[in-house]
Amino acid sequence: MYLVPCKKCGNGNNFNAKTCPKCGAVTISPKNQPALWPFWNKVILMFIVFMLVLVIVNSNLTPEEQAQRKEEQAQRKEEQAKLAIQREAKDKEEAVLRVKKNAERRKKGFHCLSDWDGSHRRVKTFIEGRLRDPDSFEHVETKITPMDADGNHTLFMTYRAKNGFGGVNVETAIATVKNSNCAATIQ
């Protein structure tokens, strides 16, 4: 007769017992436990079969075939190394182009303008503050000149806004913008 020890008191119980007769603790018989062992047996068996197939396939190769396979692997590694070098060179080239592009943008003064609508935020805020109805402000267009010898840009901002009679006027604001910190002086 096969006995299963109780987890609580250690008493040997019958294999099929659901509770311990001594302490009354609920015991789980091996019949009620999940069948994990057969699953792992299948996994281990499949792994062993896979390894055996690999060994058999590799052992059946002639020395010439084995040399050819090693040569193919070496060629693959060499191609991968070449691709990695090409990718690295391309990344460096793109980084250099990005730096040149940013320098050109900075020289033209575009770094001071909003990427969203192309306006200069400080000039826009100043103009909105001087309007009778700041909510009526609508940015139309901003043009900026390249940097001059003093490191300044001239900015022309065209906008629409309501006048005191409820009509809409189109106006242009002119400002001088420093390239170094994008500070604007309205003219």
pLDDT band at residue 98 using 50, 70 and 90 as cut-offs: very high
DSSP-derived secondary structure letter, 119: -
Average pLDDT rounded to a whole number, residues 89-99: 96
Sign of the alpha-carbon torsion through 141, 117, 99, 106: positive
Q: Identify the pLDDT of residue 42.
A: 83
pTM attached to this predicted model: 0.52
Domain residue spans in the chain? Answer: 1-33, 36-108, 114-186
- For domain 114-186, which architecture applies? 2-Layer Sandwich (3.30)
Phi then psi for residue 23, to 5 deg, are -110, -15
State in Å, rounded, how far the first CA of the chain is from the last one: 105
Higher pLDDT, 152 or 22: 152
Residues contacting 152, CB < 8 A, separation 6+: 176, 177, 178, 179
44 vs 66 pLDDT, higher one: 44
> Are the beta carbons of 177 and 155 closer than 8 angstroms?
yes
Q: Categorize the per-residue pLDDT at 1 as very low, low, confident or very high, splitting at 50, 70 and 90.
A: low
- The whole-angstrom separation of Cα 81 and Cα 75 is 10
